[in-house]
Amino acid sequence: MPLILPALALTAVLAAGPAAATAEPANEAGVRHAENLWSEAFVTGDAAALEALLDPQYVSVNPTGVARPKAQIIGFAKDYAAKHPGEHAKPLTDSSTVRVIGKTALVQHRSPQGFSMDLFYYEGGRWKAWYSQHAAAPPPPPAN
């Protein structure tokens, strides 16, 4: 009988998934960890992990200004994973910058294709994504 309670506790932690097992630090390393979890969850279509990582009111705005809510992003992730079985995300690159200001973090990404930013807040030992904005890179100047 004494072994039942620890077994139930372990089952609850495992059922909650790896993101819920330990608290993330309230610093840049914690934000980078959350970004990596988010990328992996998107690429693999892990809806439960995305539910945990994205705020209920999460919105992502694409380069043309179209705002997409959390549910639509999770749907995109499932579609992506179905089209790319077995794919895994790459870790957040060093070119992405993270600024932590109190319980808020701003992550900026740059690539040849464009720019994006993710806004996080820290609550209950976890970083949660609240808003994302994407912009296409400007076209190159015309050749003379």
Predicted local distance difference test score (pLDDT) of residue 21: 54
Q: According to the 3-state scheme, what is the secondary structure of 91-114? A: CCCCCCEEEEECCEEEEEEEECCE
Q: According to the 3-state scheme, what is the secondary structure of the chain? A: CCCHHHHHHHHHHHHHCHHHHCCCCCCHHHHHHHHHHHHHHHHHCCHHHHHHHEEEEEEEECCCCCEEEHHHHHHHHHHHHHHCCCCCCCCCCCCCEEEEECCEEEEEEEECCEEEEEEEEEECCEEEEEEEEEEECCCCCCCC
Is the CB of residue 40 less than 8 Å from the CB of residue 50? Answer: no
Predicted local distance difference test score (pLDDT) of residue 2: 46
Please measure the distance between the N-terminal and C-terminal CA atoms of the chain and give it in whole angstroms. Answer: 82
Predicted local distance difference test score (pLDDT) of residue 12: 37
Domain range 24-136, CATH class = alpha beta
Q: Provide block-wise average pLDDT over 10 residues at a time, the chain (144 residues).
A: 38 42 89 97 98 98 97 98 96 93 97 95 98 93 83
